Amino acid sequence: MIQAEGLCKSYRIQQNERPIIEIKRWSVETGERIALLGPSGSGKSTLLHMLGGVLKPDSGKLEISGFDLSAMSEPERDAYRADRIGYVFQDFYLIPSLSIRQNVELVLGKKLSRGERADLLEHYFRRVGLLEHMNKLPHKLSRGQQQRAAIVRAIANRPTLILADEPTGSLDWETADGVMRLLLEVCQENGSTLITVTHDLHLAELFPVKLHISEINGAGRREQPKENGYKAAGAGGVGA
């Protein structure tokens, strides 16, 4: 579902272009659930933002489900993101003045009838154990409940790809474990591909695939010998 080839992204820092992402080849199969690991500053969020169409690659090809993101304009990438990507963030980003139900309704668009929307909301809020809370404002809920609501918002449209950037980073360990398991389960149920950035190695163990960004990203380690490039188990073909 994801095919990246010759993908590069640099940032201009004090008059200098600094390469952050240099991916020779990387592919991800539909339905894979990947924990993306790596030290701070290694480009994990930058990669996620390119996959979500927020950032355009400087060069190279990035194809997701047949859509060539590298060739799209910004409005085209915005439309692609709204239709096909679910995002889960560390700080939830629920709109505080809306109930969690209204937060989810905002992303559902106009395609469904009123009855279909009600059924879908009931299904997902029941699934994450928030059915009796769905008309509450976010601040009336615990942080774990807020993240579960954010998961519903990310998956309700049944996007093909879910991107999660440290989704449990602000939760205590037990809550984080429950939220991560839920995210994995609902993505499996929906057949969604999931790429989750996490610094927590214990939580990463829950994922079928663990991918250290250095396995695909050659930026910052060009001085290393070529034979260090290798194929990452379970994460499709890679080369850096």
By CB under 6 A, name the binding residues for ligand ATP.
11, 13, 20, 38, 40-46
The rounded Cα 231 to chain-centroid distance in angstroms is 22
- Residue nearer to ligand ATP on the CB measure, 42 or 146: 42
CB closer to ligand ATP out of 41 and 191: 41
For residue 195, what are its two tokens? 């790429």
Residue 56 Ramachandran class (φ > 0 left, ψ -120 to 50 alpha, else beta): beta
Complex with ligand ATP: residue 38 or 53, whichever CB lies closer: 38
The dihedral through the CA atoms of 52, 56, 60, 66 has a sign that is positive
User: How far apart are the C-alpha atoms of 139 and 152, rounded to whole Å?
Assistant: 17
Shortest Cβ 100–ligand ATP spacing (Å)? 26
Decide whether 38 or 52 has the Cβ nearer to ligand ATP: 38
Can you read off the two tokens belonging to residue 236? 């499709």
Smallest distance, Å, CB 238 to ligand ATP?
Answer: 17
To the nearest whole angstrom, how small is the minimum distance from the Cβ of residue 44 to ligand ATP? Answer: 4
Residue 38 C-beta: closest distance to ligand ATP, Å: 6
| Nearest to ligand ATP of 12, 110 (CB atom) | 12
- Contacts of residue 130, Cβ cutoff 8 Å, sequence gap at least 6: 100, 141, 145, 148, 149, 152
Residue whose token pair is 């969690």? 100
The whole-angstrom distance between residue 17's C-alpha and the CA centroid of its chain comes to 26
- Minimal distance, residue 41 CB to ligand ATP, in Å: 4
Query: From CA 226, how far away is CA 240, in angstroms rounded?
Result: 9
Quick one: 48 or 134, whose CB is closer to ligand ATP? 48
Write the CA distances from 211 to 114, 229, 238, integer angstroms.
41, 14, 11
CB of 21 to ligand ATP, least distance (A): 8
